[in-house]
Amino acid sequence: MENPSLEANSQGHPFARLDPQTVLEAVESVGLYGDGRLLALNSYENRVYQVGLEEGAPVVVKFYRPARWSDAAILEEHAFVAELAEREIPAVPASVIDGRSLHDFAGYRFAVFPRRGGRAPELGDSATLEWIGRFIGRIHAVGSTRPYQARPELNPQTFGREPFDYLRTHDFLPPELATTWASVVEQALDGVARCYERAGELPLLRLHGDCHGGNVLWTPDGPHFVDFDDSRMGPAVQDLWMLLSGERQEMVGQMADVLAGYEDFCDFHPRQLYLVEALRTLRLIHYSSWLAMRWDDPAFPAAFPWFNTQRYWQDRILELREQVALMDEPPLWPV
């Protein structure tokens, strides 16, 4: 997902020309020769392929969505992940080929990554959550050493107000629901503002940004995160709350497990707990905008046929009303 201000919805189909032949020719342009095996991996924002090579193990090749990130923003992400790998933190950096990690071919920017396997983590297990917490703490210890310059900040403006403005000015809402939806979003954004006021001023750092269980691969050696594409500046709790699920008491225990590992490597400001439901609310608003801004990409109507139906927007109204109430509840434990 991205900052809605970065790309207009009128660009057509940015990946229409990216056929298998173009993928293989792009890989060959950096001196890697495919053996004909090509597997499209699960990605909608970008296009990602596993490519078999004539020599050596297969690689993963990511083609970046045109106009989403600047070259500088992509290279900042590459540099951050490389910094993590240099400190033996298990993340997967882009391969440097002929002195570069970002390459161009036929109008597409792409990067090559080593293939890393793994399975989904068992997020219901306390020891697993503590281990992941240690891992995130190590990432944040590095992420706090210096800020991004080219990547945006995750905040109520970029993940709330801008997506809201985009949706209400691009005719995605059914007319009979538009006024109700807009009113509920305004209430939700007011609740977000109150949460940020209670949390007070907090340090921002370089985050993974999209730290859910699907971006964690588990191996016998422990977890590693993949896909730092949404990395940006923000509060540390953004990389923690998406690991929580279930009823409130369950989330209290899960957060305790995560922080037991996290604080081995990085300090945690407890006031950030005021932001958990605010950040969840912002993600819900942002997600609808993300889908809307990608609706001209043929992959999106095929993958998300339920989007932009009346039922979809009715469900979002109910969901945000629930969030308005949750944001006024105390944090997971006293701060």
Active site residue 257: no
Q: How many whole angstroms from its chain centre is CA 119?
A: 19
Count Cα atoms within 13 angstroms, Cβ side, for 237: 24
Pairing of the two strands 216-219 and 103-105 = unpaired
Cβ contacts of 61 within 8 Å, gap of 6 or more: 23, 26, 27, 48, 49, 50, 51, 110, 111, 112, 113
Residue with tokens 């990946």: 15
* Vertex 207: Cα angle to 307 and 129 (nearest 5): 85
Amino acid identity, position 84: L
- Other beta carbons within 10 angstroms of residue 270's beta carbon come to 14
- Contact between 313 and 175 under an 8 Å Cβ cutoff? The reply is no
What's the chain's Rg over C-alpha atoms? 20
In whole angstroms, what is the distance from residue 206 CA to residue 56 CA? 33
**What's the rounded Cα separation, in Å, for the pair 286 and 165?**
11
Q: Is 210 a catalytic residue?
A: yes
Q: Of the listed 227, 229, 239, 297, which one is catalytic?
A: 227
120: amino acid identity, one letter: A
Three-state secondary-structure class, residue 103:
strand
Collapse the DSSP code of 225 into the 3-class scheme (helix H, G, I; strand E, B; otherwise coil) and give the result: strand
Q: Do the Cβ atoms of 30 and 41 come closer than 8 Å? A: no
Catalytic residue among 210, 229, 239, 297: 210
Separation of alpha carbons 277 and 55, rounded Å: 49
Q: Which residues are catalytically annotated? A: 210, 227
